[in-house]
């Protein structure tokens, strides 16, 4: 349970990090809080020659509001969000997701950017940020670009980073007034990776919404237009209109062959819809 | 790892740390985690080690005052940090109250989990507004105890929170700290180059073909179909050319063919950042009349820790239109070792779909006589690109 030897460098700025990433020979892996990569290193499933520790880069440790968008640096931790050390434009939605990730010692070091880049299909941010319509800002040798999370996470543990490219910030749009949010995950033991995730971000006033079924085999199943789940129309009565058979059909089309697995995912999504209709009390559900 | 060394040995770091209030300079390999550094380097053996992958919680220490997993905090990540271990909480007021309450409530038996449990409990005492049993249980869910059933531990923590809130001591919010992982300083530059390579591991003897019995029952199996715009006869003939098949299969290399129906080689497996190369042997069987065949193989990775056995059965059928073929694949595999822990069946299924698509495209190119694809096996450049892109390029397991 000890990692294979690796070199360790900790650049003090973004330019130095990008230059080192472009020039370093051998297998290079970036590390932030090490809460996902650490176990893989200890198990020697990953054996890089060089690890670049990105937590010294000031640009990754910021949070700011740009208009209707919350911008979080890649190294903002789950605990930073849980504790309210970053602004909140989602009426507590982000805080509730963050507070239920793994365990407090993990949340104190695990980062939002690291979680997205690691792209475990069962990770909370992969599904939650897809449902919230968040984007990631990437920096690389050819400059910067922005991608929606659903185009960034392309498969299990697989993202759309090009060679020499890194995730700099996560951009999360505000939850508008009147919008409903529900996020439910199913774990057999608290803190473990989820077996099923359901997330909905619905705007009954505007008649639109997004839904995500996560912790599936590949990237989260996103319905950017969730109306088919609600009989074709999203209104204030969306909870009554939720159609479990439509969700089942979506999963079937996505290749989920096992009926029990589909049932679990559809049930969890239904609970997310119910939560969106009757938002949870203000206190954090899992303030571990 | 003695303190106060001026120049680190090759490939090692010298870290300024404050441990239980003492300013130290500690020398360590970059791969050393904080748990080993404290126990082996500083003789602070109160910090225990259990799972060493962040699940059991026994190594929990305070990093800049906040609980963190010592086993997932590598030496280079915490230069300049302030660390408090269980030894450093001897005179801490809350820890003292917890020790007394643990004693009263029989909150420990063997004591292995207790250092981590006390540190997690202390964090709950600080942060939880009231002695809410459910929230305490949730809060302790990252610390495993195999003796007590948690009942005494929960009672002890509830008692301490209840008493303190009764004395008018409110919860802390922790709102004032800087953003980012606890223990990680901003802007501090560290360079620890790689040490010279140690002697390579001796390769593991591949499984003997004789071990591949027909009674193999795979733990996981799935079916996959490939559609090719070529006549079934041509497709079946190509599948009989094991060199050609290996060249079409991402990550596969052939190293020997001791007998006509036996091959030796390797298969590189990649799931995101995880890379492993399985080396082993496979037996090939063909039934020309039924246009079907099978490949049954077994192998293990370099350290011999992860092992796999798998079998692919294929049947080439006529496609929906003339001169097209459909290949029905039936894949079964068993995977053991650390890789199995992460190679969840669902992920394997997803990967297999993409590899089948690559394989199908490569077969098609070969049958069309266009650019024969080069073996993508163990090309270091491709390995590197694959890693940086975190992109899947190989087939999981011998299956």
Q: Which CATH superfamily is domain A180-277 in?
A: CO dehydrogenase flavoprotein, C-terminal domain (3.30.390.50)
Query: Same CATH topology for A58-173 and A180-277?
Result: no
Given an 8 Å threshold on Cβ–Cβ distance, is A104 in contact with B385? no
What pLDDT is recorded for position A45? 83
* Strand pairing category for B220-228 and B252-259: unpaired
Query: pLDDT tens track of chain B, all 399 residues?
Result: 444 445 667 788 899 999 999 999 999 999 999 999 999 999 999 999 999 999 999 999 999 999 999 999 999 999 999 999 999 999 999 999 999 999 999 999 999 999 999 999 999 999 999 999 999 999 999 999 999 999 999 999 999 999 999 999 999 876 688 999 999 999 877 888 876 655 555 555 555 555 677 788 888 887 888 888 999 999 999 998 888 888 888 888 888 888 888 999 888 877 777 777 888 898 999 999 999 999 898 888 876 678 888 888 999 999 999 999 999 988 888 888 777 766 566 666 666 677 777 888 888 888 888 764 444 433 333 333 333 332 222 222 222
Q: Return the ∠ at Cα A258 (arms to A257 and A263), rounded to 5°.
A: 115
Alpha-carbon distance B360 to nearest alpha carbon in chain A (angstroms)? 19
* β-strand pairing of A50-53 with A7-10: parallel
Q: Which of B185, B198, B388 lies at the smallest CB-CB distance from A56? A: B185
Per the CB < 8 Å rule, is B184 touching A55?
A: yes
Neighbours of A282 (CB within 10 A): 8
Question: What six digits make up the tokens of B360?
Answer: 């199908």
* Domains of chain B, start order: 6-89 (3.10.20.30), 92-173 (1.10.150.120), 220-389 (3.30.530.20)
What predicted TM-score, i.e. pTM, was given to this entire model?
A: 0.85
How confident is the prediction along chain A (288 residues), in pLDDT tens digits per residue? 799 999 999 999 999 999 999 988 888 999 999 999 999 899 888 889 999 999 999 999 999 999 999 999 999 999 999 999 999 999 999 999 999 999 999 999 999 999 999 999 999 999 999 999 999 999 999 999 999 999 999 988 899 999 999 999 999 999 999 999 999 999 988 988 899 999 999 999 999 999 999 999 888 999 999 999 999 999 999 999 999 999 999 999 998 888 999 999 999 999 999 999 987 654 444 444
Q: Does A98 touch chain B (CB under 8 A)?
A: no
Break chain A into its structural domains and give their ranges. 7-53, 58-173, 180-277
Nearest CB among B139, B187, B275 relative to A56 is that of: B187
- Which residue, chain included where needed, has tokens 């009926």? A259
Helix (H/G/I), strand (E/B), else coil: A40: helix
Distance from CA of A222 to the nearest CA of B (A): 17
In three-state secondary structure terms, A153 is strand
Q: Within a 13 Å sphere around the CA of B289, how many CA atoms are in the beta-carbon half?
A: 0
Q: Which helix (H) or strand (E) holds B148?
A: none
Pick among A108, A153, A215 to test the B interface (most B CBs inside 10 A): A108
Nearest CA in chain A to B175: A85
Among A13, A25, A40, A45, which would you mutate to test the B interface (most chain B Cβ atoms within 10 Å of its Cβ)? A45
- The CA distance from A251 to A260, in Å, is 12
CA dist B276 and B395 (Å) reads 11
Nearest C-alpha of chain A: how many angstroms from B306?
10
User: How far is B143 from B133, CA to CA, in rounded Å?
Assistant: 16
How far is the CA of A89 from the CAs of A61, A74, A110, B384, in angstroms?
18, 18, 21, 39
A52 lies within 8 A of chain B by CB: no
Residue B56 CB contacts under 8 Å (≥ 6 apart), including other chains: B50, B113, B116, B143, B144
A109:B79 CB<8 A: no
pLDDT at B386: 32
Tokens read off for B20: 């239980």
- Which residue in the set B198, B338, B389 is minimally distant from A162, CB to CB? B389
- DSSP code for B86: G
Distance CA A20, CA A97 (A): 34
Within 13 Å of residue A188, how many CA atoms lie on the same side as its CB? 2
- CA–chain centroid gap for B229, Å, is 40
A78, A104, A166: best mutation site toward chain B, by most B Cβ within 10 Å? A104
Angle value at C-alpha A24, between A20 and A28, nearest 5 degrees: 100
Instruction: Kindly list the distances between the CA atom of residue B47 and the CA atoms of A144, B69, B79, in Å, as whole numbers in the listed order.
Output: 43, 10, 19
**CATH fold of the domain at A7-53:** 3.30.43
DSSP B393: -
Cross-chain CB nearest to A103 (options B141, B189, B193): B141
DSSP-derived 3-state class of residue B237: helix
Give the E-state strand segments of B40-89 in sequence order. Answer: 60-63, 66-69, 82-84
Output the six-digit token pair for A41: 């290193």
Reduced to 3 states (helix: H, G, I; strand: E, B; else coil), residue B142 is coil
**Residues of chain B contacting residue A119, judged by C-beta atoms under 8 Å apart:** 272, 390
Within 10 Å of residue B24's Cβ, how many Cβ atoms? Answer: 16
Q: What is the pLDDT of residue B331?
A: 82
A111 — contact with chain B (CB < 8 Å)? yes
Strand partners, A181: A201
- What token pair was written down for B393? 């390029």
Q: Any residues with CB less than 8 A from the CB of B275 and at least 6 apart, and which? A: A46, A47, B268, B269, B383, B386, B387
Which residue in the set A12, A41, A218 is minimally distant from B189, CB to CB?
A: A12
3-state secondary structure at position A144: strand
Residues in A touching B193 (Cβ below 8 Å):
7
Measured in whole angstroms, the distance separating CA B47 from the mean position of its chain's CA atoms is: 23
C-alpha to C-alpha distance for A186 and A198, rounded to whole angstroms: 9
- Alpha-carbon gap, residue A35 to A57, rounded angstroms: 18
Whole-angstrom Cα distance, residue B176 to residue B9? 38
Return d(Cα B281, Cα B275) in angstroms, integer.
20
Residue B382 φ/ψ, nearest 5 degrees: -65, -35
Cβ of B186 within 8 Å of Cβ of A58? The answer is yes
Residue with tokens 């060089």: A50
Residue A113 contacts by C-beta under 8 Å, 6 or more apart in sequence?
Answer: A32, A60, A72, A73, A74, A75, A76, A136, A167, A168, A169, A170
Cβ of B73 within 8 Å of Cβ of A217? The answer is no
The yes or no reply on domain A58-173 and CATH 2.40.110.10 is: no
Distance CA B272, CA B270 (A): 6
**Do the beta carbons of residue B312 and residue B378 sit within 8 Å?**
no
Distance from CA of A69 to the nearest CA of B (A): 18
Looking from the CA of A99 toward its CB, the CA atoms found within 13 Å total: 23
Contact A190 B141 (CB under 8 A): yes
């Amino acid at each position: 349970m000890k990692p294979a030897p690796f070199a360790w460098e900790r650049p003090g700025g973004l330019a130095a990090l990008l230059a080192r990433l472009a020039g370093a020979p051998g297998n290079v892996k970036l590390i932030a809080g090490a809460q996902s990569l650490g176990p893989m290193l200890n198990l020697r499933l990953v054996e890089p020659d060089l690890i670049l520790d990105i937590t010294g880069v000031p640009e990754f440790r910021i949070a700011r509001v740009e208009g209707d968008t919350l911008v979080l640096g890649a190294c903002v931790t789950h605990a930073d969000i849980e504790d309210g050390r970053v602004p909140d434009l989602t009426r507590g939605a982000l805080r509730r997701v963050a507070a239920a990730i793994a365990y407090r010692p993990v949340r104190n070091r695990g980062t939002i950017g690291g979680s997205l880049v690691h792209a475990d299909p069962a990770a909370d941010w992969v599904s939650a940020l897809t449902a919230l319509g968040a984007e990631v800002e990437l920096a690389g040798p050819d400059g910067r670009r922005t991608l929606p999370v659903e185009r960034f996470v392309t498969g299990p543990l697989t993202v759309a980073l090009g060679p020499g490219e890194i995730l700099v910030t996560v951009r999360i749009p505000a939850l508008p007034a009147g919008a409903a949010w529900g996020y439910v995950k199913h774990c057999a033991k608290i803190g473990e990776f989820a077996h099923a995730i359901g997330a909905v971000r619905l705007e009954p006033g505007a008649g639109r919404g997004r839904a995500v079924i996560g912790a599936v085999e590949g990237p989260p199943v996103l319905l950017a237009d969730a109306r088919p789940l609600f009989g074709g129309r999203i209104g204030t009565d969306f909870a009554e209109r939720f159609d479990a058979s439509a969700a089942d059909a979506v999963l079937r089309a996505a290749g989920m062959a096992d009926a029990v697995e589909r049932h679990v995912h559809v049930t969890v999504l239904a609970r997310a819809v119910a939560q969106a209709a009757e938002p949870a009390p203000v206190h954090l559900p899992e303030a571990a | 790892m003695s303190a106060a060394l001026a120049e680190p040995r090759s490939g090692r770091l010298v870290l300024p740390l404050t441990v239980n209030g003492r300013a130290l300079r500690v020398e360590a390999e970059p791969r050393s985690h904080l748990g080993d550094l404290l126990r082996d380097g500083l003789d602070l053996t109160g910090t225990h080690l259990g799972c060493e992958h962040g699940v059991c919680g026994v190594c929990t220490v305070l990093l800049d005052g906040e609980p963190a997993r010592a086993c997932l905090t590598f030496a280079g990540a915490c230069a300049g940090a302030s660390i408090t271990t269980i030894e450093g909480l001897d005179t801490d007021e809350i820890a003292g109250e917890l020790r007394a309450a643990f004693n009263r409530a029989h909150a420990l038996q063997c004591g292995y989990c207790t250092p981590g449990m006390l540190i997690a409990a202390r964090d709950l005492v600080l942060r939880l507004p009231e002695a809410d049993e459910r929230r305490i249980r949730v809060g302790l869910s990252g610390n495993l105890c195999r003796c007590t059933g948690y009942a005494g531990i929960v009672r002890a923590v509830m008692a301490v929170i209840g008493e303190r809130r009764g004395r008018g001591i409110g919860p802390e919010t922790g709102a004032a700290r800087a953003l980012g992982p606890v223990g990680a300083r901003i802007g501090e530059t560290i360079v620890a180059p790689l040490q010279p390579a140690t002697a390579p591991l001796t390769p593991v003897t591949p499984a003997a073909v004789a071990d591949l019995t027909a009674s193999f029952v795979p733990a996981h199996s799935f079916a996959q179909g490939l559609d090719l715009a070529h006549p079934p006869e041509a497709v079946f003939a190509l599948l009989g050319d094991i060199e050609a098949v290996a060249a079409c299969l991402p990550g596969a290399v052939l190293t020997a063919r001791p007998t006509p129906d036996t091959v030796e080689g390797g298969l590189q497996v990649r799931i995101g950042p995880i890379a492993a190369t399985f080396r082993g042997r496979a037996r090939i069987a063909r039934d020309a009349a039924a246009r079907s065949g099978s490949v049954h193989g077994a192998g293990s990775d370099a350290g011999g820790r992860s092992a796999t056995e798998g079998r692919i059965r294929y049947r080439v059928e006529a496609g929906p239109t003339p001169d097209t073929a459909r290949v029905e694949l039936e894949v079964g595999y068993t995977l053991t070792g650390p890789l199995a822990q992460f190679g969840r069946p669902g992920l394997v299924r997803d990967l297999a779909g993409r590899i089948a698509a690559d394989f199908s495209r490569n077969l098609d190119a070969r049958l069309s006589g266009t650019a024969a694809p080069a073996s993508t096996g163990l090309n270091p450049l491709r390995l590197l690109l694959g890693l940086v892109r975190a992109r899947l390029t190989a087939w999981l397991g011998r299956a």
